[in-house]
Structure 1
Amino acid sequence: MDQLGALMQGFADAVTLGNLVWALVGVTIGTVVGVLPGIGPALTVAMLLPLTFRLDPASSLIMFAGIYYGGMYGGSTTSILLNTPGESASMVSALEGNKMARAGRGAAALATAAIGSFVAGTIGTIGLTFLAPAVAELAVGFGPPEYVALMALSFVTVSALLGRSLVKGAASLLIGLAIGLVGIDAQSGQARLDFGVPALLDGIDVVVVVVALFALGETFERLLRGTGRETVEPVRGRAVLSREDWRRSWPAWLRGTALGFPIGGLPAGGADVPTFLSYSLERRLSKHRSQFGKGAIEGVAGPEAANNAAAAGVLVPLLTIGLPTSATAAVILTAFQSYGLQPGPQLFTESGPLLWTLIASLYIGNVMLLVLNLPLVRLWARLLTIPAYGIYAAVLVFSTLGTFASGGTFDDLIVLYALGLVALVLRLADAPVAPAVVGVILGPLAETQLRRALALSQGDPAVLVSSPLTVTLWVLIVLALLAPLAWRLTRGVRERRRTAPPVPVTAVESQADQD
């Protein structure tokens, strides 16, 4: 009942005219920018992050929630009509959605994606409402050793899961950790990694890092490799579902939600795993298996629901223990920190009204997005015809002006573009950017907690494994490191067996004759 009362008070604050306007602005901007090809939710939130600093914390976070959910909705439009996913979690929707669009059923694909996103987002937000306070209450008893293990788990899982190579993910993480150490050490007062530049003594603003790694890195890569021009599949008819489409979609929505929210809520979760699992499950359970690969509506409904349910689930570890498990969550953590708010167990007690207003705005934003997406499908499709060079020129301008307008200096702009070149190198090396962002944000916090733990134990490192919880977390870390290696080895053995040439019958017979 406490959660319901707090949620009702959050609704009372969220439905004020000003907050409703900011929620509408957020979902609209998130959808518009998310629809543009090659721009996923993480890049959308990162690019628009500096523009919200002139608002009060409540309005800013409400707008951010709208941008977050709007970017998820908009990404499905790009995947279906353009076959260009803005993030890896949208790849599965493109498999069947683009086939439906080419068969003249793009409107139905967009409709099942929008309604499935609404259903999954609403159910996921309900789960967030009741699960997050319980997790936060459990996490209140965490000490420095538990936080060190949790942050180490976040480092390892983000590096291992958000990329094709564990080594490249670890390299990206180390770059982020190095950036996070720039400036004066709070305990010793010594300058670290400042290279004699006075502007670096205060460290590098996390907002500058996020905008550079996501927005500028993506822009530079597109300019280097060429923007090109994709063919947009036309949308015919209205975004409505037939009775048969409804019958095939609603079980997939529920199954996708059941997979997405729990996996997204894990400290090692995210949206990639549940979307692929959802697609595999729908393909196995569907009575229309022959349509998969040709445009099966279940292949769009299930993964889209899993994707948006996971987006709500990702907020559970983010808000309760301060651990981002996706690139977008890492950027949202930056937004909290920019207002002096540190997500974690104390957030519900120290900033309860603000947090419940944010959660209430998620419900409102979901309704707004459904109303925006279904009638305006043709409008969103037209946005896809904007030339890519115009899109990325606008990203460059918004990133530069936004960083400067948020209180930056000329030195910040130099750092911004220097880090943008670092992001370009990471992308050319096919290394994920998200581990670097997580390293920048959580690196200093992990260092502080490690120092506290060692100070409490008078330098004894055994304190890091002094409780059952810490031992469990370190075991999970080891499994997270070994699981990708085991998977790659197993897959390599299977591929070698599959591609091995068959033994000729004559050779077998001749060998038998010799024996």
Structure 2
Amino acid sequence: MLDAALSGLLHVLLPINLIFLVIGVFMGIVFGALPGLTATMGLALLVPFTFTMTPAAGLIMLGGIYVGAMYGDAIPAVLINTPGTPAAIATTFDGFPLTQKGMSQHGLVAAAVASSYGSLVANILLATSAPPLAAASLAFGPPEYFWLGIFGLTIIATLSSGFIAKGFLGGAIGMLLSTVGIAPLGGDVRLTFGFSSLQAGVELIVALIGFFCLPEILQGVIGQRRKAFTSEKVTPKLSVIVEVIKSLLKKPGLMLRSSAIGAIIGFAPGAGGNIASMVSYNEAIRWDKHPEKFGKGTIKGVAASEAANSAMAPGSLIPLLTLGIPGSPPAAVILGALMLHGMRPGHELFTVHAQVIYAFIMSMLVGAFLVTIIGSFGSFFFARIINIPSRYLAPAILFMTVLGSYAIRNNMLDVWIMFFFGLIGYVSNRLKFHPAPIVLGLILGPFVEEGLVQSMLAGRAAGSVMKYMLLQPISMVLIAMSVLSAMWPIIATWRSRRKKRDGSGVSHA
């Protein structure tokens, strides 16, 4: 295996293949950075171009696109509070507050370094432990997905600290929105109000743009007539890159934990980076000594989200390469590329086509280093975008939101839905409703619904629904984690009060 990995690395470092990799990473960053143009879309559009290449060169370029897109989505998340892809939702929580404080370069560099670290850790796992991890991924059935969804929903308790009731109400609204369209099991048409276009459901990217980006434009730029998108002028410096890298290197626990969460959730087929980044962000708050700093602009929040987001990508390839089961939509596109080049996932892939497949794995590992270089030095250009006067920047952002919303399904109704969600987001912000729980409910609703219905059907066939749902080993772990996560704000408040009481007692003495 080590010889095959080394041979694959040497294949990647060939000048022509390295050029293809650099092009792939750059194009991936572009696709990730433009709202509506996801990694899946970028891979799908460029797969035909790989037909004229050798299988290794084509897969190396696709690997670069995948890695680059996992970082690119952080750029609009940090600069304009718009996740480039759903996986970057958690990046906005601290990325945009950093921009508002004039520290956009800090956020962009932290995202690049964390993305590279997460991708590096997950690629090492992919190269060394793919077969046993793939076997573990088969243990995920309907009950496990149901409890994974419930565990994800308990994150609302952390995200809505101080406004827990409002947070869970927002989550319920999001879950209601997730039921729009044709039911995945049963085929019932729900909440479409006569619009046939809504039978496919509410597009997640449309909701993200509406809830996160438009309220900021309506409230700040248009409502307050600000001359600049943020109050602080950004001056990128080389010292910022060194400062951020040193700071993150001093937090190995945060980086390793976030990467592990991303890789583990990635190899659960279908879970994806949307859940991984939110879970990682939640755990970063839980384990930090100063959780009150999160949400106000800290590079730790950006790093936690982006490390998990990028680690998910190689993690999702573990079940793909070994079992032929894509762990994410981009992985499904890569499966198609493998099949078109005559390579079938499974044991044959790591024996007959070992050099090609390890070249693909090593391309993502080398691509991780390229993301650090391009992202860190590109921050000099990206960070300055926010200095553009709002009378030019706001219309450009509005144009991108409309274009991104329309491009997903070539449907004008999605644009109107985006504007509708933008108005709801604006009003909810005024009422102290954070949009994150709404979007989280929209993401996790299908997991909970499908897992519950399938578990009930399978449980009845097995003789006991409760036994089938509650007594599976992974389900028991997820139930325990859900209870702990839901109770954590109460536990954290109790510990804080106890420390204050003990501290006041000591000082009094």
Q: Provide the TM-score with structure 1 as the length reference.
A: 0.65
SS of corresponding position for 2:374: helix
Counterpart contact for 1:27–1:365, Cα < 8 Å: no
State which of 156, 159, 163 in structure 2 corresponds to 1:162: 159
Q: Is the 8 A contact 1:174 1:436 kept in 2?
A: yes
Partner of 2:45: 55
Is it true that 1:124 corresponds to 2:129 in the alignment? Answer: no
1:472 corresponds to which of 466, 472, 477: 477
SS in structure 2 opposite 1:458? helix
> What is the letter of the counterpart of residue 459 of structure 2?
S
After superposition, give the CA deviation of every residue in 1:14-64 in whole Å (9 maximum; x if it has no partner). Answer: 94866642321333676xx6xxxxxxxxxx655767974871468788545
- 8 Å contact 2:316–2:331 — kept in the other structure? no
Residues 390-420 of structure 1: CA distance to partner in whole angstroms, max 9, x if unpaired? 3332222112123323432232322222222
The secondary structure found in structure 1 opposite 2:233 is coil
Correspondence 1:31-430 to 2 at 5 A: 52=42, 55-56=45-46, 62-63=64-65, 65-72=67-74, 87-90=92-95, 117=114, 120-121=117-118, 123-129=120-126, 130=128, 134-157=132-155, 159-164=156-161, 165-223=163-221, 226=224, 227=226, 228=228, 229-232=230-233, 234-235=235-236, 252=250, 254=252, 257-262=255-260, 269-271=279-281, 273-274=283-284, 309-313=307-311, 315=313, 360-373=362-375, 378-430=380-432
Aligned to 2:457: 455
* Residue 176 (structure 1) shift: 2.0
Equivalent residues of 1:160, 1:166 under 8 A apart: yes
- In the TM superposition, residue 253 of structure 1 has moved relative to its aligned partner by 6.0
Equivalent residues of 2:211, 2:421 under 8 A apart: yes
Q: In structure 2, how many angstroms separate the alpha carbons of the residues matched to 1:209 and 1:114?
A: 23
Instruction: Classify 1:252/1:309 alpha carbon distance in 2 versus 1 (closer, same or farther; 3 Å).
Output: same
* TM-score of the superposed pair, with normalisation by structure 2: 0.65
| 458-467 or 373-382, larger mean C-alpha shift | 373-382
Distance 2:429 2:360 in 1: 33
After superposing the two structures, state which structure 1 stretch, 246-255 or 229-238, moved more. Answer: 246-255
Q: Determine which structure has more spread, i.e. the larger CA radius of gyration.
A: 1
Change beyond 3 A, Cα 1:340–1:318: closer
Cα distance between partner residues in 2 of 1:491 and 1:71: 36
SS in structure 2 opposite 1:270? Answer: helix
Q: Is the 8 A contact 2:114 2:255 kept in 1?
A: no
In 2 relative to 1, CA 305–433 (structure 1 residues): closer, same or farther, beyond 3 Å? closer
Report Cα offsets for 1:404-444 as digits up to 9, x if no partner: 23432232322222222233334334444344334334423
Provide the C-alpha distance between the structure 1 equivalents of 2:160 and 2:3, rounded to a whole number of angstroms: 37
Per-residue deviation at 1:378?
4.4
Cα deviation 1:81-118 (Å, max 9, x = unaligned): xxxx96345599899996xx9xxxx9xx8999599548
How far off its partner does 1:349 sit?
A: 6.0
Tell me the CA shift for residue 481 of structure 1: 0.9
CA contact under 8 A between 1:7 and 1:360: conserved in structure 2?
no
Q: Is the 8 A contact 2:11 2:359 kept in 1?
A: yes
Contact residue 50 and residue 402 of structure 1 kept, 8 A = no
Q: Distance in 1 between matches of 2:180 and 2:244?
A: 54
| Alpha-carbon distance in structure 2 between the residues aligned to 1:187 and 1:443 | 14
Cα distance, 1:487 vs structure 2: 1.5
Q: Which residue of 2 aligns with 1:292?
A: none
Structure 2, unpaired ranges of 5+? 48-58, 82-89, 266-275, 292-297, 321-326, 337-343
Q: For structure 1, which segment, 249-258 or 471-480, has the greater mean C-alpha deviation from structure 2 after superposition?
A: 249-258
- Equivalent residue number for residue 490 of structure 2: 485
**How far did 1:484 drift?**
1.3
CA gap 1:432/1:152 in 2 versus in 1, 3 angstroms: same
Aligned to 1:443: 445
- The more displaced of 305-314 and 145-154 is 305-314
Amino acid at match of 1:476: M
Q: How many residues align?
A: 441
Matched residue SS, 1:201:
helix
Task: Please state which structure has a larger fraction of its residues in helix.
Answer: 2
8 Å contact 2:75–2:108 — kept in the other structure?
Answer: no
2:56 is matched with none
SS across alignment from 1:194: coil
- Specify whether residues 465 and 487 from structure 1 end up closer, same or farther in structure 2 by C-alpha distance, changes over 3 A only: same
Q: Is the 8 A contact 1:24 1:368 kept in 2?
A: no
Contact 2:8 2:360 in 1 (8 A): no
1:96-143 Cα deviation digits (max 9, x unpaired) = 996xx9xxxx9xx89995995487346434445246664442020233
1:115 and 1:407 mapped to 2: Cα distance? 30
